[in-house]
Amino acid sequence: MKKGILVCLILILASSLLFAGGASEAQKTTDETFSLNRKAEIIISYKAGGGSDRMFRAFQPYLEGIIGQSLEPVYLPGAEGLIGWSTLLSKPADGFTIGVLNIPSATASIVSGDATFGVEDFTYLGNITYEPPLLIIAKNNSWGINNLQDLIAYAKANPGKVTMAHTGTGGDEYIAIKLFAEYAGIEVKDVPFEDTASSAAAVLGGHVYCAMTSAYAVLNYLEQDQVIGLAMGSDEREPAFNTIPTFTENGINLVMGGMRGIVGPKGMSEAAIKFWSDAIQQMVNNPDYQAYAAANGTMLRYMDAEEFKAAHENLFEMYSEFYKKEPW
């Protein structure tokens, strides 16, 4: 009787070990392969029709052609993007839900403590666009300012008089204004507006002197010769805007920019990361998409998963140091 019980226990234990081994192999296979066999969702943390949505609509057909599936947008605006990003991080890390990450908007919220997540809580898949800050002034301005040196000289002669519009305290435009003033040795007043349209209208109406924005956001005004691009925060002149000098050309060491890339929830498999990273790279390298982006003022700058993550980590460190001096 005892021998019979012992044999049964041995058989049960052996079966359990065999099942565990089988489960391990199944999990290993899942981790090493990824197939997008149904449509995926992309969470956009701003309203439809905004900059992130316009970027998505531009690349959507190219990316869908590569992945072989439809990509369904889910708009979750509110709390300066925090609702959308928090929702993304609550989703399963199965590779079927991705999102647009706006940097440094997300970075500013992490640094200030408004976000419940950190830089390390995303799975980085690839960056798509890079938007260096652009300082503009109305072409018909009444202050006789035609270039950056004119503005700096005017600001030094009139401390605190120059007003500069931006679209959010703690955002890249706000940081760019503060750094520009520091590097140029001038005193200016930053004026927050709800959106780019409002800040640009204030510039054209002479209600503020300048606005720190992006070339993409004020493309129409540039094309219609209504504003002057005083300087751009890229490391070199952007081909699509080669008439606009950089800050560094004017002796101001201001090089920074906003990024829009694709991320997923933390914990995605290496296979899923490779799938999306490869697809994003193919999309950005597509000549048709590049031509479309150039015609619409979009500056492409692909970064793979590791580069994108490193760029965000570096920006987080920079913002953290800045926040100690200028909390928002």
Pairing relationship of beta strands 163-166 and 227-232 according to DSSP bridges: unpaired
- Position 295 confidence tier, pLDDT thresholds 50, 70, 90: confident
The answer, yes or no, to whether residue 21 has pLDDT greater than 70, is no
| Segment among 32-36, 64-68, 95-99, 306-310 with least mean pLDDT | 32-36
Domain boundaries, the chain: 40-130+257-325, 134-250
Give the number of residues written for the chain: 328
- Position 251 confidence tier, pLDDT thresholds 50, 70, 90: very high
- Position 264 confidence tier, pLDDT thresholds 50, 70, 90: very high
State residue 197's pLDDT score.
87
- Position 167 confidence tier, pLDDT thresholds 50, 70, 90: confident
Q: Which CATH code for domain 134-250?
A: 3.40.190.10
State residue 49's pLDDT score.
86
User: CA-CA distance, 177 to 187, in Å (whole number)?
Assistant: 10
- What's the whole-number mean pLDDT along residues 36-52? 92
The answer, yes or no, to whether residue 312 has pLDDT greater than 70, is yes
The answer, yes or no, to whether residue 69 has pLDDT greater than 50, is yes
State residue 13's pLDDT score.
37
* 3-class secondary structure per residue, the chain: CHHHHHHHHHHHHHHHHHHHHHHHHHHHHHHHCCCCCCCEEEEECCCCCCHHHHHHHHHHHHHHHHHCCCEEEEECCCHHHHHHHHHHHHCCCCCCEEEEEEECHHHHHHHHCCCCCCHHHEEEEEEEEEECCEEEEECCCCCCCCCHHHHHHHHHHCCCCCEEEECCCCCHHHHHHHHHHHHHCCCCEEEECCCHHHHHHHHHCCCCCEEEECCCCCHHHHHCCCEEEEEECCCCCCHHHCCCCECHHHCCCCCCCEEEEEEEECCCCHHHHHHHHHHHHHHHCCHHHHHHHHHCCCCEEEECHHHHHHHHHHHHHHHHHHHHHCCC
Paired tokens of 135: 């300082």
State residue 296's pLDDT score.
82
Share of the chain above pLDDT 90, in %: 76
The answer, yes or no, to whether residue 85 has pLDDT greater than 50, is yes
The answer, yes or no, to whether residue 297 has pLDDT greater than 60, is yes
- What's the whole-number mean pLDDT along residues 270-290? 97
| Segment among 22-31, 63-72, 83-92 with least mean pLDDT | 22-31
CATH classification number, 40-130+257-325, choose in 2.30.30.90, 3.40.50.2300, 3.40.50.720, 3.40.190.150: 3.40.190.150
Q: Tell which wins on pLDDT, 97 or 295.
A: 97
For the purposes of burial, counting CB atoms within 10 Å of the CB of 19, is it exposed (0-12), middle (13-18) or buried (19 or more)? exposed
The answer, yes or no, to whether residue 17 has pLDDT greater than 60, is no
State residue 152's pLDDT score.
98
The answer, yes or no, to whether residue 29 has pLDDT greater than 70, is no
Q: Which one-letter amino acid corresponds to residue 21?
A: G
| Segment among 1-15, 62-76, 183-197, 252-266 with least mean pLDDT | 1-15
The answer, yes or no, to whether residue 9 has pLDDT greater than 50, is no
Q: Do domains 40-130+257-325 and 134-250 have the same CATH topology?
A: yes
Burial per residue of 27-46, b for 16 or more beta-carbon CB atoms within 10 angstroms, e otherwise: eeeeeeebebeeebebbbbb
User: CA-CA distance, 294 to 130, in Å (whole number)?
Assistant: 13
User: CA-CA distance, 163 to 210, in Å (whole number)?
Assistant: 6
The answer, yes or no, to whether residue 117 has pLDDT greater than 80, is yes
The answer, yes or no, to whether residue 219 has pLDDT greater than 80, is yes
* 318-323 contacts at long range (C-beta below 8 A, 24 or more positions apart): 319/104, 319/107, 319/108, 319/111, 319/175, 320/111, 322/175, 322/178, 322/179, 323/111, 323/112
Highest mean pLDDT among 114-118, 235-239, 291-295: 114-118
State residue 254's pLDDT score.
94
State residue 24's pLDDT score.
36
The answer, yes or no, to whether residue 103 has pLDDT greater than 80, is yes
